Amino acid sequence: MAEPASAEHRLEAVGLTRLFRGGVGVHKVDLTVAAGEIHALVGLNGAGKSTLMRLLLGMLTPEAGSVLIDGRDLRSAPSEVWARVGHLVEYPLAYGELTSRGNLVLGARLHGVPDADVAGVVESAIDELALRPFADVRARVLSLGNRQRLGLASALQHRPNLIVLDEPTNALDPAGIIRLRGALLDRARSDGAGILVSSHHLDEVARIADRITVLSDGRVIGALDPRGVDIERAFFDLVLADTTEAA
């Protein structure tokens, strides 16, 4: 779907490039995420999705190109801009000796949530991601699925303007996927957050995405219609055509 020209960009990347010797990087990627939009990245394993997300968040330095977050250059964005970003890339990070609640309290404070609001923010996040039975359990003993819920709760709890999630449904059970879907739609529609999600699950992202971009070998090769009748066939036709052309 074409994005309105007047849309406010929460995230904008132009010509983003980072190459790795002997492996796929990212090559001249242009990408935007508008306020209130859920933009999905899909691709085969090794397509460059995680590398792109790390570049967008400043975890890797690009060789060329630029990234703007809420209109501010990534390299000089002030702390108040970063305080309004939530992300989960590759795997959830948590302090093992802290409880789920303790990790969320720490995360809320690091994101600048006022002290008077921290308790309410944390308890809402616990309920939103169904962490109540594990709120006082140390993170190091949580199952993979519950660690993922904790990582997502930490990324979403401070109501960020920009949300970047890499394979967010990893290890989630069906109930967790449904809760996450509702949380992302709420952030986009109610808060006007821009959301970028990578996933291998085409049917799941098609449920919530406004746009779907396809990566292959670190390049954008096309887009999919989230309302397409057979999105899986459209995806494989696009990837196959790119593979054939490259050969």
- For residue 2, pLDDT over 50 is answered with no
pLDDT above 70 for 187? yes
pTM of this prediction exceeds 0.75: yes
Q: Quote the radius of gyration of the chain (alpha carbons, Å).
A: 18
- To the question of domain 1-84+161-247 being in CATH 3.40.50.300, the answer is yes
pLDDT in tens, 136-178: 999 999 999 999 999 999 999 999 999 999 999 999 999 999 9
> Residue 5 above 50 pLDDT?
no
- Strand spans (E) along 56-155: 64-69, 72-73, 85-88
Q: What are the boundaries of each domain within the chain?
A: 1-84+161-247, 93-159
Is residue 13 over pLDDT 90? yes
Separation in Å, CA 55 to CA 13, 25, 61, 129, 196: 10, 10, 6, 28, 13
Q: Which segment of 42-56, 73-87, 105-119, 123-137 scores lowest on mean pLDDT?
A: 73-87
Mean pLDDT, the chain, rounded, equals: 93
pLDDT at position 7 over 60 = no
Residue 3 has pLDDT above 70, yes or no: no
Task: Look at residue 226 in the predicted model and tell me its pLDDT.
Answer: 92
Residue-wise pLDDT for 191-237, tens only, equals 999 999 999 889 999 999 999 999 999 999 999 999 988 999 999 99
Report residue 15 as tokens.
């010509």
Contact between 48 and 220 under an 8 Å Cβ cutoff? The reply is no
The yes-or-no verdict on residue 4 having pLDDT over 50 is no
pLDDT at 6 over 50: no
Burial of 115 per CB tally in 10 Å (0-12, 13-18, 19+): exposed
- Count CA atoms closer than 13 A to 92's CA, side-chain side: 29
φ/ψ of residue 91, rounded to 5 = -160, 150
pLDDT above 70 covers a percentage of the chain that reads: 96
In this model, does residue 1 exceed pLDDT 80?
A: no
CA distance 55 to 102: 29
Phi, psi torsion values for 49, nearest 5 degrees: -60, -50
The mean-pLDDT minimum among 34-38, 181-185, 202-206 falls in 202-206
Cβ atoms 129, 178 nearer than 8 A: no
- Residue 245: its pLDDT value, please? 74
- Rounded Cα distance, 209 and 188, in Å: 10
Q: From CA 152, how far away is CA 183, in angstroms rounded?
A: 10
